Amino acid sequence: MQVKAGPLLSKINYPADLKQFSEADLEQICQELRQYIIDIVSVNGGHFGASLGVVELTVALHYALNTPYDKLVWDVGHQAYGHKILTGRRDLFHTNRVYKGISGFPKISESQYDTFGVGHSSTSISAALGMAVAAQLKGEPDRQHVAIIGDGAMTAGLAFEGLNHAGIENSNVLVILNDNCMSIDPNVGALKEYLTSITISKSYNRFRDDISTVLAGLSKLGPNAHKYVKKIEKSIKGTLLKQSNLFEALNFRYFGPVDGHDVKRLAQTIKDLAAIPGPKLLHCVTVKGKGFALAEKDQTKWHAPGLFDKITGEIKKSITDKPQPPKYQDVFGHTMVELAEANDKIVGITPAMPSGSSLNIMMKAMPKRAFDVGIAEQHAVTFSAGLATQGMVPFCNIYSSFMQRAYDQVIHDVAIQKLNVVLCLDRAGLAGADGATHHGAYDISYMRCIPNLTISSPMNEEELRNLMYTAQLENAGPFVIRYPRGNGVMADWKRPFKALEIGKGRKICDGEEVALLTLGHVGNFAVEARSELNSEGIYPAHYDLRFVKPLDEEMLHEVFSKYKHIITVEDGAIQGGVGSAVLEFMADHKYQANVIRLGIPDQFIEHGEQPELWAECGYDKFSIINTVKKFAVKRTTNSLAG
Ligand SMILES: Cc1ncc(C[n+]2csc(CCOP(=O)(O)OP(=O)(O)O)c2C)c(N)n1
Ligand SMILES: CC(=O)[C@@H](O)[C@H](O)COP(=O)(O)O
Ligand SMILES: [Mg+2]
């Protein structure tokens, strides 16, 4: 749906157009930009509060700097909607995150103003530093490189690795720390407390302002005085400020905190900072959701609220009135509490995704035993490993794609030491509108090769509960449970726990000629496909592997002995995935069969609704039906019926 932009905004197609306006117009431009974001996100969905919070910063940056020559690097990128609208994509913005439309994140292939592809957090400082050092090497010393990073993203180790290096390179890097005290949920940790303390500390700010005032006064006494002032400044800042400011201690010149909603002052400050060489950090204080009262009030809910009525603020429910089965994440959250009540060794860990993973249910019920560790996937895994060495049973819940960050920790800290850590990988498989950066496509391939791991995936809510129950039993060892974004299939899911035999799958039904071998939730696509095929006289067998490591070899011997055509179906990369494991089994045991692998092909899959993407990749219900039909023999009577 196209939306009309306000009178000033409609004159801005690119940042160069912004320059025709005077500083006095900037506030109105911000207001129109904010309204445009509200108009479109309300009917289209997507991230919301973060972009509203940086409207002034976005306008100020494009007004003050010379983009795209100067480089803006947005961290995570979920706050870059204003940037997209001001950089040639206003009329495409209604396709944001839609199948075949523009991406919800900055992307080099989409625009020359998108200097770096993002989606995962905390990369901006390293990327901007790389660009800045390249500028020095290429002889472009005047170019500016700005990393715009939130207080949440700043908690990650990677951000500190970037700061640590930037502090000794004398290159033009400006870090803008967008501090709104929020991650998706309220931000956590000692850094957050530090940022709050320097924002509100009267004595720190008075001390810093006093120094600046005295020095400014002295420098007016003439050119000689100016020289001494510089020396004094260097010495005072070099000692006192360094001791009292974390960023100064890392060789950054720290400015702020400033009001991140005062667009005129921001534009002026950014211009001034561009004239100062070397690493600088501007601490901006903003309000997530600024300008939309409900989003300011409940910032977590309005991080990405779905569709809503922009006048009443009512968030729209799904189109169907039918009661929906629960989301897998909620089954995880409630089951954590049940298991932890019965087993006092169990603890829960999430790196900054309490709401997304539903660990917030346990955080509320048992605050001492559930930890949000901030955006820190590597730490989350190693912290879990440490807990496990002491006999605790940590359930560490990480989105599959974010787990890519903690690969070494899984191998080095968990698997080699065979520790009882349960790794719950939410959003495994195609995640939907977030696109290529967020699909949990690779976990099976990158985990399957690690010794000592058990890797499982439930086909429904009851199985998720039983896998969680099994994983916490004594000496289960490192245990991975992967499940997708979205709802399960069972209305009545809260059933008594049952231990599952590790490495055992289950036969769902016998069949003829063709066998379907599935792992996890996609097994339900196969169930639906079978039901349609049966009505046409086609009867494929169906086996649910449940574990991809260890594989149920007994079951596979049966499958290869009985069926000529074996179709594997997985919500993950084909390369190295379930189908590959089955082919390895076939080769190792010298079977000969026609194995067809359905899953994510060897390419990055963009954004869209999950069903659109499953269809594109060829493993939704219809694709399974079509694949089976290629090999099945149609019967007029069902020899297996009854
Ligand atoms: C490596 C990684 N972990 C987790 C996330 C999920 N995530 C996206 S935005 C976000 C909060 C970021 O907070 P902040 O940087 O302060 O930005 P704000 O939303 O407050 O503007 C989180 C946890 C992610 N994108 N990448
Ligand atoms: C930007 C980001 O990484 C998160 O906001 C992510 O989009 C959350 O995904 P879910 O909506 O699946 O929790
Ligand atoms: Mg924040």
What is the tens place of the pLDDT at every residue in 104-155?
999 999 999 999 999 999 999 999 999 999 999 999 989 999 999 999 999 9
Over residues 445-501, the pLDDT tens digits come to 999 999 999 999 999 999 999 999 999 998 899 999 999 999 999 988 999 999 999
Confidence band for 425, pLDDT divided at 50, 70 and 90: very high
- Whether residue 467 is contained in a domain is answered as yes
| Residue that is last in its domain, among 251, 270, 295 | 295
639 assigned to some structural domain: no
Domain count, the chain: 3
- 125 & 245 share domain: yes
Nearest to 560 by CA among 538, 578, 541: 541
Residue 454 pairs with which residues in a beta bridge?
479
Ligand 1 in reach of 76 Cβ (< 6 A): yes
Given a cut of 70, whether residue 194 has pLDDT beyond it is: yes
User: What is residue 206's predicted lDDT score, i.e. its pLDDT?
Assistant: 56
Residue 405 appears among annotated catalytic residues: yes
Q: Is the CB of 50 under 6 A from ligand 1?
A: yes
Average pLDDT over residues 636-640: 59
What separation in Å is there between the alpha carbon of 230 and the centre of ligand 1? 39
Mutational test site, ligand 2, from 48, 329, 438, max ligand atoms within 8 Å of CB: 438
Determine the distance separating the centroid of ligand 3 and the alpha carbon of 62, expressed in angstroms. 21
* Ligand 1 touching residue 375 (CB < 6 A): yes
Residue 497, domain member (yes or no): no
Is 461 annotated as ligand-binding?
Answer: no
Of all protein residues, the one whose alpha carbon is nearest to atom 10 of ligand 2 is 356
End position of a domain, from candidates 482, 516, 543: 482
- Known catalytic residue: 369? no
pLDDT digits 0-9 by tens, 321-355? 677 899 999 999 999 999 999 999 999 999 999 99
Do residue 155 and residue 189 come from a single domain?
A: yes
Residue nearest to atom 6 of ligand 2 (CA): 434
Q: What is the pLDDT of residues 529-545, one digit of tens each?
A: 999 999 999 999 999 99
Instruction: Return the percentage of the chain with pLDDT > 90, whole number.
Output: 88
Residue 221: is its pLDDT beyond 80?
Answer: no
Q: What type of residue is 326? A: P
Is the CB of 188 within 6 Å of ligand 1? no
- Please tell me the number of the ligand nearest to residue 104's CA: 2
413: burial class by Cβ within 10 Å (0-12, 13-18, 19+)? buried
In-domain check, residue 475: yes
ipTM given for this complex: 0.99
Q: What pLDDT sits at residue 491?
A: 86
Confidence of residue 642 (pLDDT cuts 50, 70, 90): very low
* pLDDT, the chain, mean: 94
Distance between CA atoms of residues 519 and 505, nearest Å: 9
Q: Which pLDDT belongs to residue 223? A: 55
Q: Is the pLDDT of residue 320 over 80?
A: no
Q: Are residues 40 and 136 in the same domain?
A: yes
- Supply the pLDDT for residue 633: 83
Same domain assignment for residues 222 and 268: yes
Claim to verify: residue 278 and residue 144 sit in the same structural domain: yes
**Chain centroid, CA 297 distance in Å:** 23
Catalytic residue among 192, 327, 405, 465: 405
**Which of 473, 490, 455 is closest to 328 using CA atoms?**
490
Q: Is residue 25 a part of any domain in this protein?
A: yes
Same domain, 255 and 340: no
- Residue 446 Cα to ligand 2 middle (Å): 22
CATH classification at residue 432: 3.40.50.970
Q: Do 604 and 401 form a contact (C-beta atoms < 8 A)?
A: no
320 is a domain residue = no
Which pair of tokens denotes residue 82?
């204003």
Burial class (CB in 10 A: 0-12, 13-18, 19+), 231: exposed
Mean pLDDT of 571-595: 98
The residue count for the chain:
642
Strand 594-600 versus strand 173-179 pairing type: unpaired
CB 620 within 8 A of CB 570: no
Q: Are strands 506-509 and 541-544 parallel, antiparallel or unpaired?
A: antiparallel
**Atom number, ligand 1, closest to the C-alpha of residue 356:** 6
Residue whose CB lies within 8 A of the most ligand 2 atoms, among 184, 332, 434, 439, for a mutation test: 434
Q: How confident is the model at residue 216 (pLDDT cuts 50, 70, 90)?
A: low
What CATH number does the domain containing 609 carry?
3.40.50.920
106 and 13 both lie in a single domain: yes
Do 542 and 472 belong together in one domain? no
* Arithmetic mean of pLDDT, 36-53: 98
As a whole number, mean pLDDT of residues 203-220 equals 54
* Gap from CA of 357 to ligand 3 centroid (Å): 19
Three-class HEC string of 104-169: CCCCCCCCCCCCCCCCCCCCHHHHHHHHHHHHHHHCCCCCCEEEEEECCHHHCHHHHHHHHHHCCC
Helix, strand, coil share of the chain (percent; to 5): 45, 15, 40
119 annotated to a ligand binding site: yes
Verify that 29 and 150 share a domain, yes or no: yes
Reported confidence tier of residue 295, pLDDT bands at 50, 70, 90: very high
**Model pTM greater than 0.90?**
yes
* Ligand minimally distant from the alpha carbon of residue 54: 1
Residues 50 and 134 in one domain: yes
- Section 228-252 average pLDDT: 73
What confidence tier does 1 reach under pLDDT thresholds 50, 70, 90?
low
Could you tell me if 423 and 526 lie in one domain? no
Enumerate the β-bridge partners of residue 1.
Answer: none
In a domain, 426, yes or no: yes
Query: Is residue 313 a known part of a binding site?
Result: no
In a domain, 62, yes or no: yes
Ligand 1 in contact with 167 (CB < 6 A)? Answer: no
d(CA 37, CA 310): 11
Of 156-160, 226-230, 374-378, 571-575, the poorest mean pLDDT is in: 226-230
Percent of the chain at pLDDT above 70? 92
Is a pLDDT exceeding 50 seen at residue 215? no
Note whether 105 and 158 are same-domain residues: yes
- Residue 74's H or E segment, with its range, is strand 71-74
pLDDT, residue 332, reads 98
* Ligand 2 center–CA 322 separation, angstroms: 26
Q: Please tell me which residue in 233, 377, 461, 463 is annotated as part of the active site.
A: 377
The answer to the question of whether 565 is labelled as a binding residue is no
Residue 548 lies in domain: 506-631
Closest ligand 2 atom to residue 76 Cα is 1
Asked if pLDDT for residue 228 goes beyond 60, the answer is: no
pLDDT attached to residue 47: 98
SS (HEC) of 272-341:
HHHCCCCCEEEEEECCCCCCCHHHHHCCCCCCCCCCECCCCCCECCCCCCCCCCCEHHHHHHHHHHHHHH
Annotated active-site residue 345? The verdict is no
Q: Is 238 annotated as a binding residue?
A: no
- pLDDT at residue 243 in the model: 67
* Ion ligand 3, residue ranges at CB < 5 A: 150-152, 180, 182
